[in-house]
Amino acid sequence: MSSYNLDRKEYSKILLYDMKSNNTDAPFFIKKYKLSNISVKLHRHEYMQINYVFSGKAEHMINNKKIAISGGDIFIIPPYVPHAILAEALEVEICEFEFLPQFINDELAEADNLDEIYDFAYVQPFWVKESAVRSKVNLSEFTQIQVENLLNKAINEYIGKKTAYRFMIKSILLKLLVILGREYQAQYSTDLSKSNAYHNVKIVLNAVEYMCNNYDKEITLQSISKKFLVSPSYFSYLFKSIVSKSFLRYLVDLRIACAKELLLTTDKRIIDICYESGFKNIHHFNRTFRQLMCMSPSEYRNG
């Protein structure tokens, strides 16, 4: 279930932003803005968001709690987790750095010794229970200077859009995540247990096992997320992040793999193989098989 203990109907009504909402075709978006006497409504987004408070005071609403935030505070919001900024009296200046995880996934996957980065900037937002996302980290004075310099550079690159600006922004983001990870490790080195950090990894692995054993039955995103007690959108995000395939694509691949084996090892009719593999419609089966294998089921069988 989502943060805020909302039922699924209420959760689905919370405003959900995608990257196109920012009027950009880039996998990232950066802006610095001021708020005063205004509250940003409870919302979610399909991307990861870093919020840094340059100055002023406000409140951050997350996990059913209002957390006071002020200059030097930073918080990372994972996809699909509802939150809001409340600036009721005093002015607050905030920088939002939003990005799709695949924008940096390859670089992080190839790096070594990144436990400190994963704790705060990667594992902590993605893999902990939604209700356990840390509300904020207050940066040391030295780290504040580093972070503010990086964010200002990123903003200038984003506005200027000079040659190779996307590459420059990616390099800035990676450096920012390293700095934040080190700061987090210094403040909370023993605060995040492995069992908690990989809670959602276990959910996905159990879901994969369930799908492997039940691909011939009807499985939907709604039914499997309900089975593992998370919201459909959050389950979908976690599944793709961990397995590197969407839930639906993984399920289709399982069913096609079953069909391929039956085509080669049995003389069953193709329509029977269709249903035994979990497909409910022969036309959909034939179309999907051809799309993935570049040949029809009968052509595959006849080799």
Reading phi first (left if > 0) and then psi (alpha if -120 to 50, else beta), residue 81 is in beta
- Kindly state whether residues 158 and 108 are assigned to the same domain: yes
Both 93 and 184 in one domain: the answer is yes
pLDDT band at residue 152, thresholds of 50, 70 and 90? very high
Q: How confident is the model at residue 16 (pLDDT cuts 50, 70, 90)?
A: confident
pLDDT range class, residue 13, cuts 50, 70, 90: confident
Of 145, 175, 193, at which residue does a domain stop? 193
Query: Which residues, 6 or more positions from 169, have their beta carbon under 8 angstroms from its beta carbon?
Result: 28, 30, 154, 157, 158
209 shares its domain with 294:
yes
The C-alpha atoms of residue 63 and residue 75 are separated, in whole angstroms, by 13
Helices (H), the chain: 8-13, 105-110, 115-117, 123-127, 141-160, 165-188, 194-197, 199-214, 221-227, 232-243, 247-265, 270-276, 282-293, 297-302
Average pLDDT value for residue range 41-64: 87
Are both 167 and 209 inside the same structural domain? no
b vs e for 203-231, b when ≥16 Cβ sit within 10 Å of the residue's Cβ?
Answer: bbeebbeebeeebeeebebeebbeeeebb
Domain end point (choices 193, 222, 239)? 193
pLDDT confidence of residue 132: 52
Q: How many separate domains does the chain show?
A: 2
Q: What residue type is assigned to position 241 of the chain?
A: S
Q: Could you tell me if 119 and 46 lie in one domain?
A: yes
Q: Are residues 41 and 166 in the same domain?
A: yes
Same domain as 208, residue 178: no
Q: Report pLDDT for 181.
A: 73
- pLDDT tens-digit profile of 266-299? 999 999 999 999 999 999 999 999 999 999 999 9
In the chain, DSSP finds a helix count (H) and a strand count (E) of 14, 10
pLDDT of residue 201: 73
| Domain with 116 in it | 3-193
Band of residue 118 on the pLDDT scale cut at 50, 70, 90: very low
Examine the pLDDT at 171 and tell me if it is beyond 60.
yes
Name the average pLDDT for the chain. Answer: 80
Is residue 216 domain-shared with residue 183, that is, in the same domain?
no
d(CA 82, CA 133) in angstroms, rounded, equals 11
Tokens of 222: 């709604």
pTM > 0.85: no
pLDDT at 72 over 70: yes
- Assign residue 231 the CATH number of its domain: 1.10.10.60
Where residue 62 falls among pLDDT bands split at 50, 70, 90? confident
Regarding whether 149 and 10 lie in a shared domain, the answer is yes
Last residue of a domain, one of 139, 160, 193: 193
Both 179 and 246 in one domain: the answer is no
Secondary structure class of 95 (helix, strand, coil)? strand
Q: How confident is the model at residue 123 (pLDDT cuts 50, 70, 90)?
A: very low
pLDDT tens per residue, range 187-230: 665 444 444 445 767 788 889 889 988 999 999 998 998 888 87
pLDDT class of 2 with cuts at 50, 70, 90? very low
Do 278 and 215 contact (CB within 8 A), yes or no?
yes
- The average pLDDT across 33-40 equals 81
- The reported pLDDT for the residue numbered 8 is 59
Together in a domain, 33 and 152? yes
Same domain, 173 and 292: no
Residue 25: CATH number of its domain: 2.60.120.280
Q: Greater confidence, 13 or 123?
A: 13
| Tens of pLDDT, residues 74-103 | 988 877 788 888 887 678 999 999 988 777
